[in-house]
Structure 1
Amino acid sequence: MPWEINPMNSAWLLITTLAIAVTRLPADDRESRFESTIRPLLAKHCIGCHGPDKQKVGLRLDDKAGWAKGGDSGPAILPGKPAESLLVKAVRREASVSAMPPNRSLSPAEVRDLEAWVAAGAFDPREGSERLGGMSLGEAKSWWAFQPLAKSSPPGPGHPIDAFLQTRLAKAGMAYQKPAAKQDILRRLSYDLTGLPPTPPEMDSFLSDDSPQGYEKVVDRLLSTPAYGERWGRHWLDLARYADTAGENSDFPISNAWRYRNWVIDAFNRDMPYDKFIRAQIAGDLLAPNAADIERDGLVVATGFLAVARRFGHNIASDMHLTREDVIDTVGRTFLGLSLGCARCHDHKYDPITTRDYYALYGIFESTRFPFPGCEANRQPRDMVPLPGDPARVAETLKADARIAAIESEKAKIQAGLPRLDFSGARPVASGSIKDGGSARLDVPSPVRMVKGDMLLLAISPLANQGADFTRVELKLSDSAHASKAWDLRTEAIDSLAKGNPVASSHGGAWHFLDLQKQPRLLNSRTDGAYGNENLMAWRSEGETPAAMVNTSPDPVQVFAKLPGRSFFAHPGASWPVGIGFLCPADGNFTIDGSLVDAHPGGPDGVGFNLSVVPAGFSAALARHVEAASTLSKLESEKSGLLSRKRPSEFAYAVAELKPVDAAVQVRGEPEKKGPIVPRGMPALLGGTTVSATNASGRLELANWLASASNPLAARVIANRIWLHHFGSGIVATPSDFGSRGLKPTHPELLDWLARDFVENGCKIKRLHKLIVTSKAYRQSAGPPDDRDPDNQLVSRFARRRLSAEEIRDSLLVAAGKLDSDPGASHPFPPEDSWRFTQHNPFAAEYDTNKRAIYQMTTRNRRHPFFALFDGADPNATTPVRQATTVPTQALYFMNDPLVHDAAMALASRVEAEPTTGAQLSLLFRIALQRPPTDPELAAIRLLVPSASARLDTRSLASAARVVLSGNSFLTVD
């Protein structure tokens, strides 16, 4: 058969011929051909998306190493094999690959040139240097942050910090500002170290002490107070993205997160060496078995740094990869000052972190068990870590667990033996629905005939898929033949609900509150003080809903909404009704009146309702349920008591070991697209090694690597953070980015000297504080900006700052004399077995306290409005620096918020007894501003609150206090 000429065969014949010819060219000619043909082609069509700035699908074509390594699909070029090379297939727009360039085709001549080049061996002189992530190996080795700490000496006598700073200032022809006034420096020092203002006696003592040691004595006193740990612990919790809720769609509360918060505070107060502080938070549970008894609980709790990572989605078990990613990013930014998370999808574009480095760390945390806080799809928290504790406490915990299991068994046995409540054959009476903020009357125009034993049943159900909320219910009955016989759900339930379910009526009959699932039953779990309010009393089923609840107070109460006084409320279950049943005591015709009102407007929720008469015949079964209700209620109360005592006090929200696994690379960061397996280990940039233990996660090795004295990043980063919180800006102005996208240090020699001194003196943070605050730089005044140093990079003045959100709140309570200085503990969350939070009805609460702000509950999805307004940390991400904003709503807050008004009134009461107006105002200023008033301030106050008497009354003093507490002198530190 004669061979037919095929155009494609001809093309390949031509390319092969050209390739042989090119291959035989001298090296100089091959380079010339590459420079004249291939380099321009790649630059024109490819480098924009696959070069140093962008690496789509992980592919670089700007050097030979890039195309040899390839992207997500493997090497882009196989030298000598154009038909198998992905790049050639892409430019030929073959169906098996994505066409490239995507929006235009290469010319036929360009395609032939590329094919011939590949067929000839793909000679590429662009060898480039070996790369590590986004840097060449040479760049990575020479980058300032990765160098060993320099051994340098201060460039002059005196305080070492001043020697470094004044040398730079002198070169710029500048000098420090004059020293700050003593009252300013004490106020500055007290806020910086404790977050609280000095008291009038503390100020008087400091001003009267002219000894050379007076200032250092104050520094030592402030560093030794519990308030120091509360202030500096808050800085750390910003980095740790601490919160008391999980952050997934329903934002489930975390009962034991507070333990980590308190451990951080205690660690700062004990001046725990920073290297131990790091190790404890990464691998404390692994250090605990060999630690002293007194340290074991704390070491387990310390791993809360990892455990408090945000959870994601609706069913967080399926989104744990996002939580591990959060952990890796937080560890990198917090301890190393590097954005490791940028290597999740591809090698880091700017820093020497590769995708293999990232998944080497990912394997460590995939081999770590994280606690499960609960979520909408699986409500029961689990995998909390028992505290090692003492043997007696462990035995007590085991005893409580055994009793809880026995209670559950008893309840199940009782409920299994109860007869079914058959409500079939019900006769409809009225029906309807209400939506957000709406109301409806029960339209029953004529009396309803019932016989003894019938039940009038009002079933309240969730409305379609809109969810449901509490509904205020009114329901009245009267016997048409005996007007004196009347029944009122609201009044009878309020007066008798605490006695049990059902509620007996004085006229006979009884009100029953029912869980109308497929197997109806009485609500059997009693809750006194529902939603944290002593006036609310509820009966519930196994969880939060369904529920029947009353407000026993004659006044409205504010919880999730304002609930009217002496009212009855019902809440359906998640997808089934709650029932209010009246058991008829005698035959008769009954007039029925009632209404339903949405008790929690402001959302898309609503309820449907059906009123019916259930014929007698279930009386014997109902009697059995009533008989069992008391026993079930007692068992449920006992269980709730055991849980409330057990879990908050004996478990930690901490991590533990899992069976070790090495992680697969997730191609483009997508968990379902698996790439090669990467051994667990540390990033290569600082000599990171793979995990040696095959039976451990690698967290202990990671902790030791991070905390090692040979790791220059850890010491530089923490020294810079301490500096930042004293001077308002770090020596490195990007405190969590020491990579190539961050700013370089303004005083690199000083930073290295501080870091080395810190390591050589035991990594003691309190010592570093004292070194900084005893410098002349720290004690200079806050003068005006100088054009030669407009951003204060040379530290030519002290940087005036606004108080943080926590300092503002705590200072208002101090001024009012109401700050509770005792440590905080757990929050009054509802019992865990009652949690029924959903994405439509997430957990949300505010538990007011007069303790320091650090002890207030922090929620992720609904931030406290005060802390959001005054730039508190966002608990959804690590926060190295808070941005201080100035917005009109902040001024409105001071004009209108009850906290400010209450503080002003309380402050007025504290000074009212002084003998004269001058004495009253002097004490008011000294309490609020830690200084006496100036003459212009006194004159302005007298104009504001003129008085003919020798002393101002409480109301006038409160007006003056509001002005003082709203002014810049209160809100700023000089």
Structure 2
Amino acid sequence: MSDYQSIYELRKLSSHPMKLAIVLFSILTLTLTGEEKKAGPEWWSLQPIKKIIPPELDKHPLALNEVDAFIQKKLKENKLTSSKLASPRTQIRRLYFDLIGLPPSPEEITKFEKNPSNEAYKKTVDSLLKSKHYGERWGRHWLDIARFGESDGFGRNNPRNNLWPFRDWVITALNDDMPYDEFVRMQIAGDILKPGKDGTAAVAFLAAGLHNTVVGGSEFMKKTARQDELEEITGTVGQTFFGLTVTCARCHDHKYDPISQKEYYPLTSALKGVFHGERDVQDSEFVEEISALQKEINALQERLGAIDSAARGKAIKKRKHEPQAIQNEGPLPISRWEFDQNLNDSIGKMHGTISGAAKLENGALVLNGRDSFVMTPSLDKDIQEKTLEAWVQLNDLSQKGSGVIGIQSTDGQIFDSIVFGEKSPQTWMAGSDTLKRSQGNDGPKETEAQSKPIHVAITYSKDGTITRYRKGQVYGDSYKTKSQSFEKGKSQILFGMRHGTKAEMRGILSGRILRAQFYDRALNPAEIAASAGTESNFISDDEMLAMMSDNEKKLRNDINGQIKSITENIKNLESRKKTKIYSVAARSNPGTTYVLNRGHALQPREKVNPGSVSAVTGPNANFGLAADAADSERRKKLAEWITHSNNPLFTRVIANRIWHHHFGIGLVKTPNDLGFNGGMPSHPELLDWLATELKTNGYSLKHLHRLMVNSRAYRQSSIPNLKTLESDSDNRLVWRKSPTRIDAESLRDSMLKVSGKLNTAMGGPGFRDVTFRSLNGTTYYTPFDKEDDSLNRRTIYRFSPRGQRSTILDAFDCPDPSTTAPSRSITTTPIQALALLNNAFVLRMAEGFAKRLREDNQDKIEEQVIRSYELAYGRKPDPEEIRLGLKLSEDHGLQALCRVLFNSNEFVVID
């Protein structure tokens, strides 16, 4: 009883009701959830996967494969027997709905009924797994888990017009049977591992959830909202990929699983660089074309380089024999910062002042990419012509718009700056206010600045000519614009930020500046080269051309013309063929993470490094990264940890998830939780065998599908045995196939197919059966239905905002995308029957169904009735059904019969 050892001691607290309540609650909690009522590190799912040898098939004559051997063994141990095989019609309908989410045609059913052999069945399985509709069906399952919703949710609920590439990527990846470990890695770090459209679309998994765009003005509200968002992302990753409810440890140690609060925050640290946003990404279909053009440029540049190199050699040789040879000692700046012991200007009086977390370390100014920069006092002279120069090393080449050194008005509104990666990734540019003086993103991609310091400089001539330099050499093309003057007393030098007076994320650098210099004139190329330490290699264009013959000059001009033409072609392709994708708008350096006291956003405690859950045996939960590591390193390490071949949860979770969708309930009841609350698996050896099968067969999900749907357990009848039902009412031992109601999307798609209206177009932006109305910054959506072929696509291609969703889908338990939905609720309500009779979509489908029947069978009403049963149920009607169908059609029209057929158990339930 903790510190209170007697009733007398408890009685002493009676004058403090709150304290007494806390103590009594603690006692009650220990009673209900004591140590024996929670999982420890030895919990089954955290242990290594055992090497399982399946039971011998010879000992289980009913078994069709190894899956059956496990099932039959368990049934035998419990003195139970399995059911007989379902009818061929039931088997084929079950298979079609499970694998592609659509009913088979009457002809496909008849074909299988004539030859229901195991070989014919397996061929059907293979055919369906190759169908493009497979990815649409199983993509829907994945989108449920990914909480895929095409609006932000919360109060504003604004639309996400460009999240659809994620949906398309999922469908394509599943159709291609992308190895599951790669499928997962792409959704954690695809933009890093495979930059481009596919990688950016895949990683939208992390940003597919709710996003609060109105978080309040106080620091507490902003930081709390960010912690809530990180909890949502972290929780989805944990439940989806390794089946643990890690977010229960945000405020305290997990009550049921061996996850401490100190392990929750390293996991959030690994995902701290994830923010919601849009990216412009090159369409993958044009990447190869652009790559081929770039190879042409490279070949031409090699030819050009050979011509220039020969001429340069002649010029250097000539220069050495001239008595007036140039001896460059380097130009003298008006200000120089060495950053060795302080921020002082060693020449002038422009001494720097630190802001935020900027610091001096090992002879460099170190900036963290978030809130660190340095600014100087006001300049003591007017500046128009100038040169900015620095030696800089970057922490991350993916950062965007980071300022190195610049000159700005003291209010931060007008500026010229050396900026990295703003208009074009991994390139240096001349940054300026509203990009007025910013042109030229044609320099080569930076590849060295992360591994070593790089010299960069920009000169600004009086006539407005701006020239960029890298390592003492001209970088890209010079260009001319209107020059900007900076007034004495109202201008200053800025380091580590593009512009501004506060750390407002206006291009803050993540890296180190080792030295910087400022000149009140535009240096010439020889001076830049001299300052960079490369003056002996610099030869002006005039010197070089003087060493060339007329033929060489002509060839050089021709090559430059070809390069310019191809470069313009590339620019046109890049500008015209880009896709906007709602995805992860990553911050290169997301900063340090701290354990929060009871989860309070303003009460940070000890610092933590990116990592994961140590109780999971196999992969090392310590990622070996610094607390302020770059986002790219964090997410790569997390992806590696999750998909590690020795992570026992990784393959167990997905094997159980697939079983859940084929059999209606998982081997573990809770697909998203293999912790204590998920309980024990019904068939632990089978689960481990399936997990091993996945890994040893190239992580092929289709391999698992084949194992499951080819089994007798899957193909058996759903007819209950009353005696067995008493022993195992939940069918945990799989003695029969549990009947299931088709999900809302399959119901809608089935009506479209039966009516002959299904539009099978794949991919692209979704169809919109909602109207948009914006009021005071909030978007409202109102569903509608009308005759339009674009609205007849499969439901997975529906634009799906959060809130005000489709009434027919809601009636049949389509989940709210605000949270992850590993399994569907199945309700039976009067609303469903009413929806199938009166919903506008159902009425339109019934009308289309009737029209199809009339067109196919002319005026032969009896044949129309017979055909209606064949299309709706996959069977012929019996005489009584024909009689009733004829009477209903004659009294109320063929459309009424079609509505009745839709509104029946046989249409919505798969036995």
TM-score, shorter chain, exceeding 0.5:
yes
Identity %: 35
- The answer to whether the aligner puts 1:320 opposite 2:226 as a matched pair is yes
The match for 1:968 is: 905
Distance 1:675 1:767, change over 3 A: same
The match for 1:358 is: 264
The match for 1:803 is: 742
The match for 1:691 is: 623
The DSSP-based 3-state class of the residue aligned with 1:677 is strand
Verify the 8 A CA contact 1:777 1:798 in the aligned structure 2: yes
Q: Aligned runs of 1:789-828 on 2, under 5 Å?
A: 789-827=728-766
Alignment partners' CA distance in 2, 1:104 and 1:306: 41
Verify the 8 A CA contact 1:234 1:854 in the aligned structure 2: yes
The match for 2:714 is: 778
Shift of 1:284: 0.9
What does the per-residue CA deviation read over 1:459-504, in whole Å, with 9 as the maximum and x for residues that have no partner? Answer: xxxxxxxxxxxxxxxxxxxxxxxxxxxxxxxxxxxxxxxxxxxxxx
Verify the 8 A CA contact 1:303 1:655 in the aligned structure 2: no
- The answer to whether the aligner puts 1:268 opposite 2:174 as a matched pair is yes
Alignment partners' CA distance in 1, 2:577 and 2:605: 41
Distance 1:891 1:139, change over 3 A: closer
Distance 1:171 1:943, change over 3 A: farther
What does the per-residue CA deviation read over 1:220-255, in whole Å, with 9 as the maximum and x for residues that have no partner? Answer: 010001110000000011000001111131111112
The match for 1:63 is: none
Amino acid at match of 2:653: V
The DSSP-based 3-state class of the residue aligned with 2:48 is coil
- The answer to whether the aligner puts 1:904 opposite 2:846 as a matched pair is yes
Verify the 8 A CA contact 2:88 2:116 in the aligned structure 1: no
Verify the 8 A CA contact 1:251 1:843 in the aligned structure 2: no
- The answer to whether the aligner puts 1:875 opposite 2:817 as a matched pair is yes
Verify the 8 A CA contact 2:160 2:582 in the aligned structure 1: no
The match for 2:837 is: 895
- The answer to whether the aligner puts 1:957 opposite 2:894 as a matched pair is yes
The match for 1:467 is: none
Amino acid at match of 1:277: F
Amino acid at match of 2:884: A
Alignment partners' CA distance in 2, 1:257 and 1:837: 23
Verify the 8 A CA contact 2:197 2:281 in the aligned structure 1: no
Amino acid at match of 1:956: G
Shift of 1:691: 2.8
Distance 1:171 1:662, change over 3 A: same
- The answer to whether the aligner puts 1:188 opposite 2:120 as a matched pair is no
Distance 1:836 1:803, change over 3 A: closer
Which is worse superposed, 693-702 or 820-829? 820-829
Of 606, 614, 636 in structure 2, the residue corresponding to residue 676 of structure 1 is 606
Shift of 1:312: 2.2
- The answer to whether the aligner puts 1:370 opposite 2:275 as a matched pair is yes
Distance 1:699 1:810, change over 3 A: same
Which is worse superposed, 270-279 or 818-827? 818-827
The DSSP-based 3-state class of the residue aligned with 1:960 is helix
The match for 1:390 is: 287
Alignment partners' CA distance in 2, 1:920 and 1:105: 72
In structure 1, the gaps of 5 or more residues are 1-34, 47-89, 94-98, 107-132, 290-295, 373-381, 400-404, 411-641, 948-954
What does the per-residue CA deviation read over 1:887-921, in whole Å, with 9 as the maximum and x for residues that have no partner? Answer: 11111111111221221222122222426433222
Amino acid at match of 1:802: R
Distance 1:787 1:134, change over 3 A: closer
The match for 2:200 is: 300
The match for 1:547 is: none
The CA RMSD measured in Å over matched residues stands at 3.7
Shift of 1:744: 1.3
Verify the 8 A CA contact 1:816 1:907 in the aligned structure 2: yes
The DSSP-based 3-state class of the residue aligned with 2:605 is strand
Of 695, 706, 726 in structure 2, the residue corresponding to residue 759 of structure 1 is 695
What does the per-residue CA deviation read over 1:794-823, in whole Å, with 9 as the maximum and x for residues that have no partner? Answer: 111111111100011001111111111111
Distance 1:43 1:204, change over 3 A: farther
The match for 2:661 is: 725
- The answer to whether the aligner puts 1:142 opposite 2:81 as a matched pair is no
Alignment partners' CA distance in 1, 2:119 and 2:238: 41
Shift of 1:688: 3.8
Alignment partners' CA distance in 1, 2:797 and 2:602: 41
Shift of 1:877: 0.5
Verify the 8 A CA contact 2:191 2:200 in the aligned structure 1: yes
Of 695, 715, 730 in structure 1, the residue corresponding to residue 651 of structure 2 is 715
- The answer to whether the aligner puts 1:923 opposite 2:829 as a matched pair is no
Alignment partners' CA distance in 1, 2:154 and 2:243: 27
Q: If the length of structure 2 is used for normalisation, what is the TM-score?
A: 0.61
Shift of 1:693: 3.8
Shift of 1:148: 1.1
Of 788, 792, 807 in structure 1, the residue corresponding to residue 727 of structure 2 is 788
Amino acid at match of 1:696: A
The match for 2:799 is: 857
Verify the 8 A CA contact 2:767 2:798 in the aligned structure 1: no
Q: If the length of structure 1 is used for normalisation, what is the TM-score?
A: 0.57
The match for 1:213 is: 119
Verify the 8 A CA contact 2:45 2:675 in the aligned structure 1: yes
Q: How many pairs were matched up?
A: 602
Shift of 1:177: 1.3
- The answer to whether the aligner puts 1:341 opposite 2:247 as a matched pair is yes
What does the per-residue CA deviation read over 1:941-963, in whole Å, with 9 as the maximum and x for residues that have no partner? Answer: 2343457xxxxxxx622121111
Distance 1:691 1:799, change over 3 A: same
Alignment partners' CA distance in 2, 1:706 and 1:804: 30
Shift of 1:209: 3.0
The DSSP-based 3-state class of the residue aligned with 1:247 is coil
Verify the 8 A CA contact 2:708 2:714 in the aligned structure 1: yes
The DSSP-based 3-state class of the residue aligned with 1:102 is helix
Q: Highest Rg: 1 or 2?
A: 1
Distance 1:44 1:968, change over 3 A: farther
The DSSP-based 3-state class of the residue aligned with 1:685 is coil
Q: Aligned runs of 1:189-204 on 2, under 5 Å?
A: 189-204=95-110
Amino acid at match of 2:50: A
Verify the 8 A CA contact 1:263 1:298 in the aligned structure 2: yes
Alignment partners' CA distance in 2, 1:734 and 1:893: 30
- The answer to whether the aligner puts 1:153 opposite 2:53 as a matched pair is yes
- The answer to whether the aligner puts 1:233 opposite 2:139 as a matched pair is yes
The match for 2:826 is: 884
Verify the 8 A CA contact 1:335 1:706 in the aligned structure 2: yes
Distance 1:647 1:658, change over 3 A: farther
Amino acid at match of 1:142: E
What does the per-residue CA deviation read over 1:702-727, in whole Å, with 9 as the maximum and x for residues that have no partner? Answer: 11111112111111111011001111
Verify the 8 A CA contact 1:387 1:652 in the aligned structure 2: no
Distance 1:777 1:105, change over 3 A: closer
The DSSP-based 3-state class of the residue aligned with 1:656 is coil
Distance 1:214 1:749, change over 3 A: same
The match for 1:102 is: 19
Of 248, 258, 276 in structure 1, the residue corresponding to residue 164 of structure 2 is 258
Alignment partners' CA distance in 2, 1:656 and 1:104: 45
Alignment partners' CA distance in 1, 2:860 and 2:700: 49
What does the per-residue CA deviation read over 1:423-481, in whole Å, with 9 as the maximum and x for residues that have no partner? Answer: xxxxxxxxxxxxxxxxxxxxxxxxxxxxxxxxxxxxxxxxxxxxxxxxxxxxxxxxxxx
Alignment partners' CA distance in 2, 1:730 and 1:154: 19
Alignment partners' CA distance in 1, 2:100 and 2:22: 66
Distance 1:824 1:391, change over 3 A: closer
Distance 1:168 1:691, change over 3 A: closer
What does the per-residue CA deviation read over 1:863-882, in whole Å, with 9 as the maximum and x for residues that have no partner? Answer: 33222221012101111111
Distance 1:134 1:651, change over 3 A: farther
The match for 1:575 is: none
The DSSP-based 3-state class of the residue aligned with 1:242 is coil
